[in-house]
Structure 1
């Protein structure tokens, strides 16, 4: 290979590099649009999920939905539902027969160990969350096992 051949190959590689750089710039510019499109798709998916969980009743003139709200956010949910005049809702406290979802409220230290507690089971609604109590022991036993290896 002579010098001119090498220069020609270098020039060709430079042109390819400039073309790829232009393509990269176009892709980077469209990233923002793609992010917005992804957000709109996620919103639409949530909308479809809500519609799928609704139970049509009374020949399509009535839709029955059931859900749970935390005590802290209950007032905000009430305000949101009252903003729609065609919405009628009933609110009640959970009964012992209900399979009430549980949201754990632990400090930053105990929150790390919630996954360990989830391997067994979450506490029932209204019972004691043992995560803060077993967290130090789990840490200690893990340290002993790691040290023994």
Structure 2
């Protein structure tokens, strides 16, 4: 699984002008399931995400996790993270999981996140979404498991 994690002051997802998910301070996670991924990849990514120390402590060092600061998680599916540009200028997405498998793994990841963390919001899988965020720092971290 691939992800891009952004530390945010706030973030929300809109579909057709309606907010479907929002958080205050926390992490925006753009999530992509790739071919060959399974639940163990999702579990490892979630464990790493929840412990990722990218929030500042009293000394201003990135020493705290989203759990330590009681921040929110906004999880958005984004198959375009599997983009392959080796064949030219138009990306190929052949490395992304098939849509039904991607949805299954996304739903599994969200379910596990909700079981492990108190504040979890989401976008809508495969929807045309507009993501609004205030990146804090900015801090943006790519992650890959598998």
Asked if TM exceeds 0.5, the reply is no
TM-score of the two chains, using structure 2 as the length reference: 0.26
Q: Which has the higher contact order (CA 8 A, sep 6+)?
A: 2
Considering fraction of residues, name the structure with more helix: 1
Q: TM-score, normalised by structure 1?
A: 0.26
More strand by share: 2
